[in-house]
Amino acid sequence: MNRFIEFMEKYFVPFASKVGSQRHLVAIRDGFVTIMPLMILGSMAILINNLPIGPYQDFMTNLFGSDIWKNFGGNLWEGTFQVISLLTAFTIAYQLANSYNKDALSAGIVSVASLIILMEPISEGAGLPIIWAGAQGLFIAIITALLSTEIFIRLLGNKRLVIKMPEGVPPAVAKSFSSLFPSMITLSIFSLFEVLTLAVDIPDIHQAFYELIQAPISHLSNTLFAAVLIAFLLHLLWFFGLHGSNMMEPIMQAVYLPAIEANAAAYKAGEAIPYVVTKPFFDAFMYLGGTGATLALITAVFIAGRRHKHYYSISKMSVAPGLFNINEPILFGFPVVLNPILFIPFLLTPVVLTVISYTAISIGLVPKTIAFIPWTTPPVIGGFLATGSWKGAALAIFNFAVAVVMYLPFIGIAVRMQFEKNK
């Protein structure tokens, strides 16, 4: 075990650290984090509108009229999930330009304009295709944000493209004129690209990209193998002290956000819900107390680790934050990081919970997730909110019990080792 850890520290950790701090991946992650409150709001609005409780639906219908009251949630959906690609095009570009200490606001505006240039209008000369403004257009939105910002900030640094304004002109006006030519050139490049795609008989770049790349990725990512691989890699990064959640966030958002959006839309329309694995799938059924289901680890310490004074004292302090999936006190206080005793359960437990959850949902024992939930939602409550059913809460409880059982033998080993050490 020591040789394995030494090998990973020498070769894996430096590489993973570079990937985790890569400027563009960080911009994607922070761009999604910026709009997370909107995603939660839109998702919860649809869940409230379609909560499968007969008396609740009858009461709201009798109070406000048939389906009229659902306009409230529908409007929230349209202003959040329905335009999420446009929002991320702005926030990712903003974060990326900000990392270069450049004009982040202008970069965000140019990014959104570039994305709209690439969109095929609904009808001749009018109307945006709302399907590509939503989650299905996320991949193109991300690529557009990164490319347009890179082009824009490089042009912004060219002194020949700066329009110098006379003294006395307000700073905001002078700043906007300094980005005039870089903005024009960047948008012209995207416009030329759109013309070239039309010339080679690709009338809709979004549709072509979706059919070629995004749709296959969405289907592959919803396999059990993909879900297990992500769970394993995320916790392997955490074990070596790297923030696995943040490092995997660009992948999680780009791949699994469209999945939860599609599930919510299908639920809203009364259609079959398509995807098993979504972002809330992991949040509700795997992160029970945080990465590694560490609330179960705390429970295992309370059951079998009271004689380990250090583990027990840290566990008592970590219960409250653990209820809201905040587990840094456990990860770095025990520590779990680089702890050879906890290596196996910390990596294996999330994998087992992923397999159990995937199986339970696939065979119909538990409904598929339909709502985006905050990552701080307490375990069990998250299972209910994500699925809109008590069965989701029941699955979270079952997973929690499994996690406790998996941690118990290793806590026993830690207690025995501590006892031998203190002899």
Q: pLDDT higher for 268 or 191?
A: 191
Residue 160 has φ and ψ, to the nearest 5°, of -70, -20
pLDDT tens, residue by residue, 23-50: 888 888 788 878 878 877 776 777 677 6
Answer yes or no: is pLDDT of 292 > 70: yes
Q: What dihedral angle (degrees, nearest 10) is formed by the CA atoms of 272, 285, 227, 33?
A: 90
Q: Which two tokens stand for residue 258?
A: 């469209």
What pTM did the predictor assign? 0.70
Burial of 178 per CB tally in 10 Å (0-12, 13-18, 19+)? middle
Give the span between the Cα atoms of 343 and 124, in whole angstroms: 59
Answer yes or no: is pLDDT of 405 > 90: yes
pLDDT at 181: 87
pLDDT tens, residue by residue, 216-247: 766 777 889 989 988 998 888 888 767 677 67
Burial of 18 per CB tally in 10 Å (0-12, 13-18, 19+)? exposed
Top mean-pLDDT range of 53-62, 160-169, 277-286: 277-286
Please tell me whether residue 71 adopts helix, strand or coil conformation.
Answer: helix
pLDDT at 396: 96
126 bridge partner residues: 123
> What are the distances in angstroms from CA 317 to CA 300, 312, 323, 325?
15, 9, 12, 14
Share of the chain above pLDDT 70, in %: 82
Q: What is the mean pLDDT of the chain?
A: 82
Q: pLDDT higher for 42 or 286?
A: 286
Q: pLDDT higher for 285 or 342?
A: 285
- The mean pLDDT value for 170-178 works out to 66
pLDDT at 252: 78
Give residues with Cβ within 8 angstroms of 165, minimum separation 6: 173, 174, 177
Burial of 418 per CB tally in 10 Å (0-12, 13-18, 19+)? middle
Calculate helix-pair angle for 138-156, 23-49, nearest 10 degrees.
Answer: 140
pLDDT at 233: 86
SS (H, E, C) 187-242: HHHHHHHHHHHHHCCCCCHHHHHHHHHHHHHHHHHCCHHHHHHHHHHHHHHHHCCC
Whether the bond into 335 is cis, omega within 30 of 0: yes
**In residues, how long is the chain?**
423
pLDDT at 406: 94
Q: Quick count: other Cβ atoms within 10 Å of Cβ 8?
A: 15
pLDDT at 314: 86
**φ/ψ bin of 223: left (φ > 0), alpha (ψ from -120 to 50), beta (otherwise):** beta
Q: What angle do CA 393, 390, 68 make, to 5 degrees?
A: 125
pLDDT at 15: 65
pLDDT at 208: 82
Which range among 71-75, 146-150, 259-263 shows the weakest confidence by mean pLDDT? 71-75
Which range among 173-177, 290-294, 308-312, 313-317 shows the weakest confidence by mean pLDDT? 173-177
pLDDT at 366: 95
> What are the distances in angstroms from CA 62 to CA 55, 56, 58, 68, 298?
10, 10, 6, 10, 47
Q: Which two tokens stand for residue 106?
A: 């202008």
Q: pLDDT higher for 53 or 24?
A: 24
Which range among 238-247, 344-353, 381-390 shows the weakest confidence by mean pLDDT? 238-247
- The mean pLDDT value for 195-222 works out to 78
Helix (H) or strand (E) holding 126: none
Which range among 2-16, 56-70, 318-332 shows the weakest confidence by mean pLDDT? 2-16
Helix (H) or strand (E) holding 6: helix 2-7
pLDDT at 32: 81
Which range among 53-67, 358-372, 390-404 shows the weakest confidence by mean pLDDT? 53-67
Task: Please say whether the beta carbons of 306 and 387 come within 8 A.
Answer: no
pLDDT at 47: 67
> What are the distances in angstroms from CA 257 to CA 8, 102, 281?
31, 29, 11
Give the span between the Cα atoms of 30 and 47, in whole angstroms: 26
Share of the chain above pLDDT 90, in %: 29
Give the span between the Cα atoms of 287 and 400, in whole angstroms: 10
Q: pLDDT higher for 316 or 421?
A: 316
Task: Please say whether the beta carbons of 29 and 249 come within 8 A.
Answer: yes
